[in-house]
Structure 1
Amino acid sequence: MSFGFKEKGNQLFKDADYAGAEEMYSQAIQMNPKEPSFFTNRAVTRLRLEKWAGAEHDSRIAIDLNGGPKATASLKGSYYLSQALLELQRPQEAYDVAIDAYRLSLSAMNAQTENLSKIVLRSKQQIWAAKETARLREMDDTLASVEGLIEADLERELGDLKAQLEKGEIGEIGFNEDQKALRAEAEKKIRHVREAFKSASDARIEERVVPDYLIDNITFEVMHDPVMTVSGHSFDRIGITKYLEQSRVDPVTRAPMTVKDLRPNFALKAACEEFLTKNGWAVDY
């Protein structure tokens, strides 16, 4: 009977009726709270509904029911958990979950590898952005004060919004949309402030960014010796070599491949060298 609710939930999910799907999965869980797939299904549904805390809760239960984070069966739950943590503004936790799951997926040649690699990179970018914020604010007290005021206003507005939700004055969907809009507006204000300080300081106060195309999707570091696979994707030679010696398949397409199939990417190598020459700090990215 509980799997009947799951099937109904699956159909509603396909029809993009996420609220209805969440209700069906909840009923399935009430009937059988030991089935991990019910929790992973509700977790991904809650991600679509932007119920981040609920998605975190369900993902953690699914991981436990599947044997813990070191079990291959838990990879999907780990993927959903890392997404939820990222949206909850907890990038270090998201990174820790995603990188462990990513390494497990590589050794298991699991289909979640590519999804997890994207979350690892997003998490690392957010961690780096937080470090950059701290560095810039240490450089200029006025910048720190202005950005602090923007963030204080954001927290006050988010608090008011949460109070409206708790009073029933707005619904969950409206709350999520308004919360996202408030955060986006605050980020926009901070970008404008940093541009102004950059101009006023002759670019001395400038946020440092590593372009995505220079990052290896296996080691998640800036590439030093990029090579290209048959499918046209580039990786750092050391990382892809170790991967192919173990798996013997293209990490993106899963097609059979060996180290002999790799080709140097001279243009990308030149771009990486130029970037690192001008931005030595990126070695610590």
Structure 2
Amino acid sequence: MAGDTVKAGILKTDGNKRFQNGDFVGAESLYSKAIIADDTNPALYTNRAMARLKLSLWDSAIADCLACLKLNGESMKAHYYLAQAYLELRAFDDAVSHASRAREICATTNDKSLAQVTTLVLRCKKDRWDDAEKRRKRAHRELEEDVLAAMRREKEDSLAAMTPPTADAGGNSSPATTTMEDVGDRRQVAEEWDAKMEQLSRVFESARANDDKRREVPEWAIDDITFAFMVDPVITVSGQSYERASIMEHLRRQPTDPLTREPLRPSDLRPNLALRKACEEFLDENGWAVDW
């Protein structure tokens, strides 16, 4: 049931002023009082979430955004702030999901925040890829260490097996007499194991070198306006594809096709679904492309 909307509105306005002046604690307090006055206004929850993000209160910000979405499931700000909070908590899949949903809402409503939200989508995907890369490289290092350690143990066991003990007249074990031939055999076995370990080390080193080699982004994935990696490409009447956020910003300033200079309206744009899928697949495997 709606509460005192007038009181809530006054508190919200005062909270906005506090927020703009950098008083995030004061803003958060006023937004909380506004919610007490009227807990049916979804904007109050996203405003408090915004303040709580500034205060690094990630879980509380998430709770506010979820409360907002119960009242308004299409709140772009709720998804946008959720993505930021989840990103800070390293919940990368949730961050990507909510950032992508915020971008979809922006695209549908022609929201001017589209470019900003698209940047967040890329950041979420980049951070997710970076995290996966760190875990992958750590696993490779651990695998290399484990395999080399196992090979060293096998080498030692092989060498130990080449000098079996002998028993004296009293039944006591003593090392067998080592001949020059035995020394040669042991040296050969040791060298063979060393060669195997060296070869394995080179394989791992080669894999690491491939990770650091020069990387290139395919031209079809680059937006011709901003020269950034595309997330949501759309195609114009002339057949040229652009990132939705960049072409929409261009059309706000100048309603013409960047290539042909012919009149172009937002309604003339069509999603390039095939290119979008290709960009998504490339970015999933090459998160570094965000910073290209």
Instruction: Give the shorter-chain TM-score range.
Output: 0.5 to 0.7
Q: Which runs of 5+ in 2 are unaligned?
A: 1-6, 147-200, 262-281, 287-292
**Is the contact made by 2:230 and 2:243 (CA closer than 8 Å) also made in structure 1?**
no
Query: Which residue matches 1:105?
Result: 106
Matched, 1:6 2:5: no
Greater RCO (CA < 8 Å, at least 6 residues apart): 2
Deviations 1:168-223 (A, max 9, x none): xxxxxxxxxxxxxxxxxxxxxxxxxxxxxx9xx65643694899995xxxxxxx65
Unaligned runs of 5+ in 1: 146-197, 215-221, 263-280
**1:40 paired to 2:46:** yes
- Residue 220 of structure 2 aligns to which amino acid in structure 1? H
Query: Does structure 1 residue 258 correspond to structure 2 residue 257?
Result: yes
Q: Is the 8 A contact 2:233 2:242 kept in 1?
A: no
Normalising by structure 1, report the TM-score. 0.58
Question: Within 2, Cα distance between the matches of 1:64 and 1:122?
Answer: 27
SS in 2 for 1:140: helix
One of 33, 36, 42 as aligned partner of 1:30: 36
Cα distance, 1:247 vs structure 2:
7.6
Structure 1 209/28 Cα, relative in aligned 2: closer, same or farther at 3 Å? farther
Query: Equivalent residues in 2 for 1:79-94 (5 A)?
Result: 79-94=80-95
Alignment length (residue pairs): 201
- 1:68-88 CA-to-partner distances (Å, cap 9, x unmatched) read 1xx3xx111111111111011
Which residue matches 1:205? 208
The answer for the alignment partner of 1:168 in structure 2 is none
Q: Which is greater in Rg?
A: 2
How much has 1:226 moved relative to structure 2? 3.4
Matched, 1:62 2:68: yes
Look up the match of 2:142.
141
Per the alignment, residue 185 of structure 1 pairs with none
Q: Relative to 1, partners in 2 of residues 1:32 and 1:208: Cα closer, same or farther, differing over 3 Å? A: farther
- Structure 2 residue 225 is the aligned partner of structure 1 residue 224: no
Tell me the residue number matched to 2:171: none
CA distance in 1 between counterparts of 2:213 and 2:61 reads 30
**In structure 2, how many angstroms separate the alpha carbons of the residues matched to 1:21 and 1:38?**
11
1:245·1:258 contact (CA, 8 Å) conserved in 2?
A: no
- Structure 2: distance between partners of 1:81 and 1:237: 20
Q: CA-to-partner distance for each residue in 1:215-265, whole Å, 9 max, x for gaps?
A: xxxxxxx65363523xx5556599242697998982345332436359xxx
| 1:120 aligned partner | 121
- Structure 1 runs of 4+ aligned residues shifted over 4 Å read 142-145, 206-214, 232-238, 242-249
Q: Deviations over 1:50-82 (max 9, x none)?
A: 11111111112122212x1xx3xx111111111
Could you tell me how far apart the structure 1 residues matched to 2:232 and 2:51 are? 38
* Aligned-pair Cα RMSD in Å: 3.9
Distance in 2 (CA, whole Å) between partners of 1:237 and 1:40 is 26
8 Å CA contact retained: 2:8, 2:35: yes
Task: Kindly state the Cα deviation for residue 284 of structure 1 after the two structures are TM-superposed.
Answer: 2.8
Distance in 2, matches of 1:56 and 1:100, equals 15
